[in-house]
Copies of this chain bind each other. A is one copy, B any other.
Amino acid sequence: MKIGLLGHGVVGSGVTAITDSCAVKRVRRLEVSRILVKDEAELTDPRCTLNVEEILQDPEIEIVAECMGGLEPAHTFVSRALEAGKHVVTSNKKMFAHFCPELCALAAENGVTIRYEAAVGGGIPWMANLTRVKRLEPVQSFRGIFNGTTNYILTRMEETGMDFAECLNEAQSLGYAEKNPTDDIEGYDAKYKAALTAMKTFGAEPDLDAVITYGISTVSSKDLAWAKENGRSLKLIAEGKDDGDSISLWVMPVFLSKNDIFANVRENFNAAESDSKTLGKAVYIGQGAGSLPTAHAVVQDLLDIYVNQDAVPEAMKKRTVYNGNISARFYIRTGKPELFDAVTEQKLAEDTLLTKEMPLSEADRMIKESGDAALFAAMVAGE
């Protein structure tokens, strides 16, 4: 089975490393025959090309693996591959979170499949296991630590007492954070993964703008100190729940109890948990990024297509995202604490307070209305 690979960066080069290895090539006969690269400096392999038509118009290529990242031209190339009757595997969460329903419909129209295991949780076999649970029963809710960059930063802040900027610098120098870290630290990357999980678990097509999303760019060592004093661990959590008429879907830092299994997911690891009627809570923890773990997930998708385990994608329906059913206490550090007087349960410092239990949607509205760009907000889970 011939594969056209789009992109030969961190993930793409991992894909060729694995598929070129003897086991996969001989036993499974999966072969990357063409690789689209972005400039002449990347023409390091005889299979490399700068012309995408050599992949999209090659009738021998049955699967296109998209590991380019970014919205365009990835979206256009994937659409054209599907229209040409090629299966698609993608590791591109941003593109796929924006276009998943459209691309799944296009795949179904053309009798092919599109798989995206690598797009959420890197190496964690999250989509495969959700698919497995779902053939027996609906998944009622999920939560995840879906972003390794922020998890690394929060772990290091907790361990060292260093402030956010220093830990971000460290993450960048180790290759755990990109030069422009906005998507990671503002929670957007986690939001894309939460949306893709909701599409899978709930068959829901959520409005991305309705997903309440907070990152960690305003976190301070003071907040980690509070976590330590109170026996808690601060993690960037994404959560989704099927409420029947609507779904709840949000991303926010959460002060977890130390007994929570997620509290011990450290460094750049990711975690994902599903909850369903008979299986109960099932947790998966592993490498959320990195060349080989992510490429492993891409190749697993290729193998699933090779052994024909996959049907055309399921239809999705638009679902309202409503976070008014999510109720919690919130930790808020702001230059304008007086704006929260009506909902304050406890003053923690001059600029920091704990709200009484209130709906997430209401907390979100008050935070947005405060206009304080330096405000740090986190949910406090459990007692």
Contacts and interface: CB of A to CB of B under 8 A. Distances in A.
Contacts of A18: 136, 278
Contacts of A299: 136
Contacts of A278: 14, 17-18, 292-293, 295-296
Given A280-B286, A281-B286, A285-B285, A132 B300 contact: yes
Interface stretch (A36-44, A167-175, A257-265): A257-265
Interface in A264-308: 264-266, 269, 277-287, 290, 292-293, 295-296, 299-300, 303
A63 to B, nearest CB: 16
A135 interface: yes
A129 interface: yes
Interface string A109-143: 00000000000000111001100100111000000
A284 B284 contact: yes
A23 interface: yes
B293 A279 contact: yes
A160 interface: no
A280 to B, nearest CB: 5
Contacts of A261: 261, 264-266, 269, 285
A309 interface: yes
Contacts of A132: 125, 128, 300
A266 B281 CA distance: 13
A290 B277 CA distance: 13
Nearest to A262: B264
B300 A280 contact: no
Given A24-B136, A132-B300, A125 B285 contact: no
Interface in A130-185: 132, 135-137
A87 to B, nearest CB: 18
Contacts of A260: 264
Given A136-B303, A265-B261, A282 B286 contact: yes
A282 B124 contact: yes
Contact of A259 (B136, B266, B286, B293): B266
A235 to B, nearest CB: 13
B266 A264 contact: no
A286 B287 contact: no
Contact of A281 (B24, B287, B300): B287
Closest 5 CB pairs of A and B: A283-B285, A278-B292, A264-B264, A282-B286, A278-B296
18 contacts: A17-B278, A23-B136, A128-B132, A136-B299, A136-B300, A260-B264, A278-B296, A279-B286, A279-B296, A280-B286, A280-B292, A281-B286, A282-B284, A282-B285, A282-B286, A284-B284, A285-B285, A309-B309
